[in-house]
Amino acid sequence: MFVGHYAAAFALKGKEKKASLGMLFIAAQFVDILFFPFVVIGIERLKFVPGFTAVNNFNLEYYPFTHGLLGSLFWAGLFYVGYRFVLVKNKPQKASIALVMALGVLSHWFTDLIVHTPDLPLVSGAPKFGFGLWKSKALTFAAEAILLVLSLWYYLRQTQAKSALGRYAAIAFIGFLLLINYLNMFVLPANDEINALTISALFFYFLFALIAHFVERSRA
């Protein structure tokens, strides 16, 4: 899953308004931010198999540190401790901010579960899980779009626009995310070169987080 992960970020922001939306974007995508560099340096393994699913060529053979449920819990715990005891330790909402950040990290595994083939381990080996929506481009695109639109609706209900910009920025942003997803899925050729794929993935993850940061400043 790609942009659908940000549904968790919008929903958690709606729940705890003192948490940073930009950082929730990083949290929701955190294990993928680690995954691509981990493949590059050989800690985890991704094999490109043409036609492996309709959406991409990813045979995700071995990635327990970022996409094992236990590994995800570890990174979520790290976010919790880092937020609660370091980053927001002086804020009265520190426990609740730390919790939504940790849930953001953990949400990645459960949203990946919808689309991945059974390749998500609990720890490392079998059993592995995945409902396999990647078999269909249309269903994958629809699932990500539905998650984003529902979370946007909740986020807009929970926050108020500070200006005309704030009224439309979040809606335009979701439109932009869906456009990128559409181009990625239906228009652009598959990117099967791991270094180029890593650079483009990280570029978009940080770009989206930066835009989320500015969108959030337009709303209270």
List contacts with Zn ion (CB under 5 A).
Answer: 32, 112
CB of 18 to Zn ion, least distance (A): 27
Determine the distance from the C-alpha atom of residue 112 to the mean position of all C-alpha atoms in its chain, rounded to a whole number: 9
- Residue nearer to Zn ion on the CB measure, 19 or 46: 46
Distance from first CA to last CA of the chain, Å, rounded?
29
CB of 10 to Zn ion, least distance (A): 18
User: CA-CA distance, 14 to 193, in Å (whole number)?
Assistant: 37
CB of 2 to Zn ion, least distance (A): 9
Selection from 23, 24, 116, 25 nearest residue 67 by Cα: 116
CB of 28 to Zn ion, least distance (A): 10
User: CA-CA distance, 134 to 141, in Å (whole number)?
Assistant: 9
- Residue nearer to Zn ion on the CB measure, 32 or 144: 32
**One-letter amino acid of 62:** Y
- Residue nearer to Zn ion on the CB measure, 32 or 216: 32
CB of 41 to Zn ion, least distance (A): 17
Q: Which helix (H) or strand (E) holds 182?
A: helix 164-182
DSSP letter, residue 185: I
- Residue nearer to Zn ion on the CB measure, 165 or 185: 185
Q: Which residues lie closer than 8 Å to 63 by C-beta, 6 or more apart?
A: 35, 38, 39, 44, 45, 46, 119
CB of 67 to Zn ion, least distance (A): 6
- Residue nearer to Zn ion on the CB measure, 16 or 58: 58
- 69 neighbors 123 (Cβ within 8 angstroms): yes
Using CB atoms, what's the residue nearest to Zn ion? 32
- Residue nearer to Zn ion on the CB measure, 112 or 144: 112
